[in-house]
Amino acid sequence: MKALRADLLDFTAAPAWGATADAAVRWRPDHWLLVADDGRIAGVQAEDPGDGVERHCHRGRLLLPGFIDTHVHSPQVGVMASYGTELLDWLNTYTFPAESAWADAAVAAAGTAHFLDALLAHGTTAAVVFPTVHKVSAEALFQQASTRGMRIIGGKVLMDRHAPPALLDTVAQAERDCIDLIQRWHGQGRNSYAVTVRFAPTSTPAQLAMAGELCRADSSLYMQTHVAENRDEVRWVAELFPQARSYLGVYETAGLLHPRSVLAHGIWLDDNDRSALHAAGAQVAFCPSSNLFLGSGLFDWPAAVRSGFNVSMASDVGGGTSLSMQRTLADAYKVQALAGQRLTAWSALHSATRGAAQALGLEGEIGSLEPGLMADLCLWDKSLTPIDTHRQAMARDLHEQLFAWLLLSDERHLASTWVAGQEKYKRRTSP
């Protein structure tokens, strides 16, 4: 048995939109989180558990459930912060060349190790990941996530048109690769397979139909893709699929909308699309940093709340400019502010922890500090610099304190990251 002493924050339900005080917020200052030898949370208590337990005292630090990033690209760490383009040019100019290099298994392995270690160094213990079209990139993802014990959902990217030849598969080869990867990795350790359609323009209708068949054959599979990110992209999809009711309708027709579907962006949706997402039980991964950086548009979160579909939080690196969930959530606040809306620290943090876990059907494994769940944890300094120390001292209540922390902190505030009860990242330099 181990025990961590810190200020514990998690959620027992979804906080109400706009409520800075909410009963769903569970704040347990100066408590001990007990971790059993099997890597699961054993309990929470105010009393010191005593000498018989391996005690880690982080008094004054903030302990959260490990962050969940529901949309991120493992091969794109090196294309972050690429100048001067919108989505379609950005793909052709920066992203496709970078992804082509991952045909080489050694390149994919080294890049994946770098990527997963970077997630841990940002407090992220679970992620829904796009590798590349190459089977070896998905192999590397599952293999290296297993080594680290991380909770990963991913799959070989499907794309059989409108990309450089080095990034194209065929329907038949892609199907064989998916079936083989599903058999060997889906449900192995903490890995789950996601049927991974890059986006409608890079798959033929035949490939989309094949992807839908895979989903129909096994309802435990996830599906991930992009939808309605950019206006030129939406126009292009309308040209390519003239019969479709909308961009989302292309996926709906192919059988790709279901409770385990994760659709990135969802900026240019209409009310019919929102109703379809709700009816399917699907979720949108909101990627504010990417949406601002690529000039894609402003996601309407309140409309999603009204429609009742799930929204989780995602960095979308390399369209996003940071793997930090605090920076991502700070951008989410600013996107909502431009629309006259206010995102509370509670709704923000919930969307990157328990909310994402629930939307993924993983609330029995991750997302809160509940006994029985995996001890996936991130431990933070509340302040490091004279500026944020001063700001914390000025905070008048809990929401103000946590909101200021969220907006002013980043990965430098991370003291350590735990995966299944093991410390997998520890800051080397003292603050």
User: CA–CA separation, 44 vs 330, rounded Å?
Assistant: 29
Nearest alpha-carbon partner for 157 in 143, 145, 168, 144: 168
Count of positions on this chain that bind Zn ion (CB under 5 A): 2
Which residue number has the CB closest to Zn ion? 316
Which region among 136-144, 293-301, 309-317, 349-357 touches Zn ion (by CB under 5 A)?
309-317
User: CA–CA separation, 257 vs 249, rounded Å?
Assistant: 9
For the bound state, the minimum distance from the C-beta of residue 410 to Zn ion, rounded and expressed in Å, comes to: 21
Q: Check: CB of residue 171 under 8 Å from CB of residue 179.
A: no
User: CA–CA separation, 401 vs 345, rounded Å?
Assistant: 9
The residue (of 181 and 227) whose beta carbon lies closer to Zn ion is: 227
For the bound state, the minimum distance from the C-beta of residue 82 to Zn ion, rounded and expressed in Å, comes to: 14
The residue (of 323 and 375) whose beta carbon lies closer to Zn ion is: 323
The residue (of 49 and 318) whose beta carbon lies closer to Zn ion is: 318
Q: How many distinct helices (H) and strands (E) make up the chain?
A: 16, 16
One-character DSSP codes across 197-228: E--GGGS-HHHHHHHHHHHHH-TT-EEEEEES
Sign of CA dihedral 10, 11, 14, 19: negative
For the bound state, the minimum distance from the C-beta of residue 74 to Zn ion, rounded and expressed in Å, comes to: 11
Q: With H, G, I as helix, E, B as strand and everything else as coil, classify residue 97.
A: helix
Q: State the number of CA atoms in the 13 A half-sphere of 165 facing the CB.
A: 0
User: Which two tokens mark 360?
Assistant: 């993924």
For the bound state, the minimum distance from the C-beta of residue 249 to Zn ion, rounded and expressed in Å, comes to: 20
User: CA–CA separation, 60 vs 56, rounded Å?
Assistant: 12
For the bound state, the minimum distance from the C-beta of residue 264 to Zn ion, rounded and expressed in Å, comes to: 5
Which region among 110-118, 154-162, 273-281, 311-319 touches Zn ion (by CB under 5 A)?
311-319
* Helix or strand run (H / E) with residue 399: helix 398-408
For the bound state, the minimum distance from the C-beta of residue 73 to Zn ion, rounded and expressed in Å, comes to: 6
* Residue with token string 């997630």: 119
One-character DSSP codes across 221-249: -EEEEEES--HHHHHHHHHH-TT-SSHHH
The residue (of 3 and 292) whose beta carbon lies closer to Zn ion is: 292
For the bound state, the minimum distance from the C-beta of residue 229 to Zn ion, rounded and expressed in Å, comes to: 8
Range 238-267, binding Zn ion (CB under 5 A): 264
Given 69, 177, 316, 331, the residue binding Zn ion (CB under 5 A): 316
Which region among 18-26, 211-219, 240-248, 312-320 touches Zn ion (by CB under 5 A)?
312-320
User: CA–CA separation, 422 vs 183, rounded Å?
Assistant: 28
The residue (of 65 and 131) whose beta carbon lies closer to Zn ion is: 131
For the bound state, the minimum distance from the C-beta of residue 97 to Zn ion, rounded and expressed in Å, comes to: 16
Question: Does 331 interact with Zn ion (rule: CB under 5 A)?
Answer: no
Q: With H, G, I as helix, E, B as strand and everything else as coil, classify residue 382.
A: coil
Residues 269-288, mask of contacts with Zn ion (x by CB under 5 A): --------------------
For the bound state, the minimum distance from the C-beta of residue 328 to Zn ion, rounded and expressed in Å, comes to: 13
The residue (of 264 and 408) whose beta carbon lies closer to Zn ion is: 264
For the bound state, the minimum distance from the C-beta of residue 431 to Zn ion, rounded and expressed in Å, comes to: 33
The residue (of 34 and 317) whose beta carbon lies closer to Zn ion is: 317
Q: Check: CB of residue 248 under 8 Å from CB of residue 277.
A: yes
The residue (of 4 and 152) whose beta carbon lies closer to Zn ion is: 152
For the bound state, the minimum distance from the C-beta of residue 258 to Zn ion, rounded and expressed in Å, comes to: 20
The residue (of 316 and 370) whose beta carbon lies closer to Zn ion is: 316
Taking CA atoms, 279 is separated from 252, 272, 276, in Å, by: 11, 10, 5
Range 109-148, binding Zn ion (CB under 5 A): none
User: CA–CA separation, 375 vs 37, rounded Å?
Assistant: 10
The residue (of 159 and 345) whose beta carbon lies closer to Zn ion is: 159
Q: Check: CB of residue 13 under 8 Å from CB of residue 68.
A: no
Q: Check: CB of residue 59 under 8 Å from CB of residue 6.
A: yes
Residues 180-209, mask of contacts with Zn ion (x by CB under 5 A): ------------------------------
The residue (of 148 and 265) whose beta carbon lies closer to Zn ion is: 265
What residues line the site for Zn ion (CB under 5 A)? 264, 316
